Amino acid sequence: MKARVHVSLKAGVLDPQGKAIGNALASLGFTGVGEVRQGKLIEIELDGADKAAARAKVEKMCQELLANPVIENYAIELE
Amino acid sequence: MKAAVIVFPGSNRERDVCAALKRASGREPAVVWHGDSELPAADLIVLPGGFAYGDYLRCGAMAAHSPIMREVKARAQKGAPVLGICNGFQVLTEAGMLPGALLRNKTLSFICRDVHLRVENSQTIFTCGYAAGQTIRVPTAHGEGNYTADPDTLDRLEAEGRVAFRYCSAAGALTEEDNVNGSARCIAGVFNEARTVLGLMPHPENSTDPLLGCTDGQGLFDGLVSALS
């Protein structure tokens, strides 16, 4: 089973990288681009087929290491 | 005062802080490798600057979970003083020993220059070598020093006198220009609730040798020696 963890900065937390990407898109001529936020995607291969157990495990990983709850949100996807 | 300096793979200012500690205390600090689980007896534990674990995942995130940090946390809970400088500050926030987090600098650039700091609270073991409101000049060198915390936490830190230093002008004024990395409320360093743990982004240890033209950082180490010896 594979878990995908999307980590993103919380709303309201300044994202200077996202801003720089937004400015670069504008300078390339892309119009209609609103706020840009940059996050990260972490893919984890997991043993076993129990989705509920896998979700609980990845949830714990997020809380302990993968995301910093002070500044980041996370979303877990399993496939 | 006997200090223990923790070294992670990627730490690079441990020699600088050891030299500053030795200059102030006359005693050679113990240097402890991150993989060790035993920490020698020490009056002060120091997490130095650098790029522990290459800043992988988030600055300080991997170091915060290294074996020695369990022992550092346990000592801190018993009241042992802990000083985290630059990357050490990032490690302390990631370890949950200090509130808030350090984000990318607002300019996105690595900042390597002298800054001025205003001493906000001189009634602690770390800052008793200074007067409250005093302005000092120290070097700074970081890409992720933009301090952030939610407004309630920031209010609490200010109300409880837990802001140690703020970025300021040479005259001590708080301006957007002098707040080099965009930190919330110009905060450069904070204390834990008991004021026994300090984290700060700038490098007082690199402002202790007269050869470098400025010794404003010496007050921090002299203060520690007078408080802890």
Return the structure tokens found at A58.
């990845």
Say yes or no for a CB contact (<8 Å) between A68 and B101. Answer: yes
Query: What is this structure's pTM?
Result: 0.94
pLDDT > 90? residue B35 = no
Has the ipTM of the complex gone over 0.90?
Answer: no
Facing residue for A16 by CB, picked from B57, B58, B104: B104
Measured CA to CA, the distance from residue B229 to residue B223 in angstroms comes to 10
Active site residues of B: 86, 203, 205
Kindly report, residue by residue over B98-142, the tens digit of the pLDDT: 999 999 999 999 999 999 999 999 999 999 999 999 999 999 999
pLDDT > 90? residue B36 = no
DSSP element (H, E) containing A78: strand A72-78
Q: What is the pLDDT of residue B180?
A: 97
Cβ of B149 under 8 Å from any chain A Cβ?
yes
Kindly report, residue by residue over A16-56, the tens digit of the pLDDT: 889 999 999 999 999 999 999 999 999 999 999 999 999 99
**What is the side-by-side strand order in the sheet with B135-142?**
B30-33, B3-7, B44-47, B82-85, B197-200, B187-191, B163-168, B111-119, B135-142
- Give the closest residue to B201 by CA, choosing from B181, B171, B220, B173: B181
Would you state the torsion angle of the CA atoms of residues B27, B193, B216, B94, taken in this order, to the nearest 10 degrees? 80
Say yes or no for a CB contact (<8 Å) between A17 and B104. Answer: yes
Measured CA to CA, the distance from residue A59 to residue B89 in angstroms comes to 26
